Structure formats: structure tokens, C-alpha cells
């Protein structure tokens, strides 16, 4: 099969197009013929080596975290899927590799593709959908009537999280450029702050939840817009000791994470706030709930561009440029 691999870590290292054997299929996995995949900032960070402490991949490895396609074979312990099923998934960590013609994914991480989406649209959903779901529902426990600030509203996670928060009955604030204001408003944003002109910390007060996806300075400013008891959920770091414990990190890695997050955890405690770092997990059961929202029309995919498979490097460069509105997708088949 054809695939794009990280040959060695580095920000400027192009992915290599190679021919590989079919993935090994475990008893609890399905083999998916990849019709479409999508790109995320996580792919860029893995390629550059930023997450080696958390995810110690050994090059060469196939990149890619979103897949939509057709089941071509199932393991002997698989009961939920059969050959020919149209599915989508975010593969488990250390079993990624959707920039390829085939991928083996655990049955528990797979869901049937939403009936009202194309393969390209479905491929845009898993990582950002699960990230938003786990941040807002599981960690922050967002409730009807609460206020949530979602940073970078026109990005991949932002476009999904705004819609989910609105569906959950929250008042939603976000940051976006003036050119993207109409987009985020169409998704349900109630308050839109032009980050090029205004500082969000001067306009937002007494929020219940912040979904943080930016840099360290923005992280500390985010604490000031929350009311006591509020939740600051970060998907861009720094990782905290609870996360280290959840992944059973070695002692020295846990100490590094403890040190990296010390400042924000101390400030959060002083303000009586909750800080959590989220590195989302694969989940077929949560994807099935997301499917229901998509099929009901509560949430729609937002796609900027679709690239052909052979242009995977160009697609990754476009994501890294920061200009994409919503998701960037690769059509594999």
C-alpha cells in the first residue's frame, strides 16, 4: 500500500511517500480501506518531535489521526462491523497512520459513518469532535445556561466546539479575525472578539469554561475571565500530573509535566479554578453519539480545502500556515 511516513523528526522534514505492506490486523481490529483522512495541528507537532515525551514514536512511522472509509476485513473477535461497512474513526495512540491506503483500527474506536456525510466530510470529524466532546462534556461538564469561551473559533476544534456548546445550551464567546466573524456566528457564536484589534481579557468576565488552544501567555490570561469554580481546559498544554498518571508516564516524565504546569496550576488554585490538560482519547461510543448530532443537523462539518493524496505534504504545509477555516482533508480514494 502507499503511505506517507515521518522518516525523521524535524519541523522542515517532508513526509516521504513509500510502499508498505498491509497493516497487521489484530483479533479486535477492523482493516479499513481509507477513502479520506484529515490533518490536524497534532500531525505537525508529532512530525516536529514536540510530543516525543508523550508519544514515543520511532521513525519511520505513518502519520494521520482521522479516517473515513470502508471495512475490508475484520479480526476474529470483532462483532460490531462487517466487510463493506462505511465507517469513521480516530485511531488509538501508537496505532495511528491514516495517511495511507489501509489502516487497522480497534473495533472499540470505530463508528458507522454518518449517513448524511460524504467520506471527505466524515473524515473531518473524529479528532476535533472527540476533543470537543471530552473537553466540554467530560471535563468541564458544561450545562445549559453557562458561558463558555472557545479560542480560535474558525479552526478545526473551534468550529466543532462552538456548535457542540451551542447545542448544549451555552452562551458561546470566541476569537476570530474580522473576515471569519460571519463564519463563527453562523455556527452559533454569541460573542465574537477580533483578536487582531481587541484583547479578550478586556471583554469577557465570569465565564464558566474556557477551551484553550493557544500559547502560554494566552493560557494565563484565560484564568482572568473565569469565575470561581470555573474550568480551564487546555488542549495545547502544559500537561499536568493527572495526565501523566493517566498515561502511566515514567517518573521523570511525570516530574517534567509537574514542573511545566506548576505556574498555571498555582494560579488556578489561588483563583479557585480547575485546570486540566486534555489529550483526547479514541472512542467509538462517543463517535456514535456525535453521529446522532450530525444526522439530526445539530452539527455540520466545516471544511476549508480537499487535497489529493499525492499532495499530502502541501496539505500539511497549508495547515501549518494557520490560514485554514475548519478542517483540511485529503482524498485518498
pLDDT of residue 166: 98
Contacts of 259 (CB under 8 A, 6+ apart): none
3-state helix, strand, coil in the chain (%, to 5): 35, 25, 40
Q: Kindly state the percentage of the chain with pLDDT values over 90.
A: 96
What is the rounded average pLDDT for all residues in the chain?
Answer: 97
CATH T-level assignment (fold) for domain 2-125+301-331 = Quinone Oxidoreductase; Chain A, domain 1 (3.90.180)
Q: Checking phi first, is residue 104 left (phi over 0); if not, alpha (psi -120 to 50) or beta?
A: beta
Mean pLDDT calculated for residue range 12-18 = 95
Report the distance separating Cα 18 and Cα 100, nearest Å: 9
pLDDT at 262 over 90: yes
Q: Is the peptide bond before 238 cis (omega within 30 degrees of 0)?
A: yes
Strands 102-106 vs 29-39: parallel, antiparallel or unpaired: antiparallel
Report the distance separating Cα 333 and Cα 309, nearest Å: 8
Per-domain residue ranges of the chain: 2-125+301-331, 128-277
pLDDT at 108 over 90: yes
pLDDT of residue 53: 84
Nearest residue to 85 via CA among 113, 107, 114: 113
Q: Using DSSP, how many helices (H) and how many strands (E) does the chain show?
A: 11, 16
- Between the alpha carbon of residue 234 and those of residues 70, 134, 214, 222, 332, the distances in Å are 33, 11, 8, 10, 32
pLDDT at 121 over 90: yes
pLDDT in tens, 138-157: 999 999 999 999 999 999 99
Q: Where are the beta strands (DSSP E) in the chain?
A: 2-6, 16-19, 29-39, 61-62, 67-74, 86-89, 102-106, 110-112, 147-150, 171-176, 191-194, 207-212, 226-234, 274-277, 303-308, 327-331
Report the distance separating Cα 57 and Cα 78, nearest Å: 27
Domain 128-277 bears CATH identifier 3.40.50.720: yes
pLDDT-derived band at 231 (thresholds 50, 70, 90) equals: very high
pLDDT of residue 96: 98
At residue 115, φ and ψ (nearest 5 deg) are -65, -25
* Angle ∠(44,151,208) on CA atoms, nearest 5: 135
Neighbours of 21 (CB within 10 A): 7
pLDDT in tens, 187-208: 999 999 999 999 999 999 999 9
Choose between 81 and 323: higher pLDDT. 81
pLDDT-derived band at 299 (thresholds 50, 70, 90) equals: very high
pLDDT-derived band at 167 (thresholds 50, 70, 90) equals: very high
pTM above 0.85, yes or no: yes
pLDDT of residue 325: 96
Report the distance separating Cα 2 and Cα 131, nearest Å: 29
pLDDT in tens, 29-73: 999 999 999 999 999 999 999 998 889 999 999 999 999 999 999
Report the distance separating Cα 325 and Cα 180, nearest Å: 8
Amino acid at each position: 500500500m502507499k503511505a506517507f511516513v515521518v522518516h525523521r523528526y524535524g519541523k522542515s522534514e517532508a513526509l516521504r511517500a513509500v510502499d508498505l505492506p498491509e497493516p497487521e490486523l489484530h483479533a479486535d481490529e477492523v482493516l479499513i480501506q481509507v477513502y479520506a483522512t484529515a490533518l490536524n495541528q497534532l500531525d505537525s507537532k508529532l512530525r516536529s518531535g514536540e510530543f516525543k515525551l508523550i508519544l514515543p514514536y520511532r521513525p519511520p512511522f505513518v502519520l494521520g489521526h482521522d479516517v473515513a472509509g470502508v471495512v475490508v476485513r475484520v479480526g476474529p473477535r470483532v462483532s460490531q462491523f462487517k466487510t463493506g461497512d462505511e465507517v469513521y474513526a480516530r485511531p488509538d495512540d501508537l496505532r495511528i497512520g491514516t495517511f495511507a491506503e489501509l489502516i487497522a483500527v480497534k473495533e472499540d474506536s470505530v463508528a458507522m459513518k454518518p449517513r448524511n456525510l460524504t467520506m471527505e466530510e466524515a473524515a473531518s470529524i473524529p479528532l476535533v469532535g472527540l476533543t470537543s466532546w471530552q473537553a466540554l462534556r467530560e471535563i468541564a461538564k458544561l450545562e445549559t445556561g453557562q458561558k463558555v469561551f472557545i479560542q480560535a473559533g474558525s479552526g478545526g476544534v473551534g468550529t466543532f466546539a462552538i456548535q457542540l456548546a451551542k447545542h448544549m445550551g451555552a452562551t458561546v464567546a470566541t476569537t476570530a479575525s474580522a473576515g471569519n466573524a460571519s463564519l463563527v456566528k453562523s455556527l452559533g457564536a454569541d460573542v465574537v472578539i477580533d483578536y487582531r484589534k481587541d484583547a479578550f481579557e478586556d471583554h469577557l468576565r465570569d465565564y464558566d469554561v474556557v477551551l484553550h488552544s493557544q500559547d502560554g501567555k494566552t493560557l494565563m490570561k484565560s484564568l482572568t475571565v473565569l469565575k470561581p469554580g470555573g474550568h480551564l481546559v487546555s488542549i495545547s498544554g502544559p500537561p499536568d500530573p493527572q495526565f501523566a498518571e493517566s498515561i502511566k508516564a515514567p517518573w521523570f516524565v511525570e516530574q517534567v509535566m509537574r514542573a511545566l504546569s506548576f505556574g498555571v496550576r498555582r494560579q488556578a488554585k489561588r483563583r479557585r479554578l480547575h485546570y486540566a490538560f486534555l489529550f483526547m482519547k479514541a472512542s467509538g461510543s462517543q463517535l456514535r453519539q456525535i453521529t446522532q448530532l450530525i444526522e439530526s443537523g445539530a452539527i455540520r462539518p466545516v471544511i476549508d480545502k480537499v487535497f489529493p493524496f499525492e499532495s499530502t505534504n502541501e496539505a500539511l504545509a497549508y495547515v501549518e500556515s494557520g490560514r485554514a477555516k475548519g478542517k483540511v482533508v485529503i482524498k485518498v480514494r
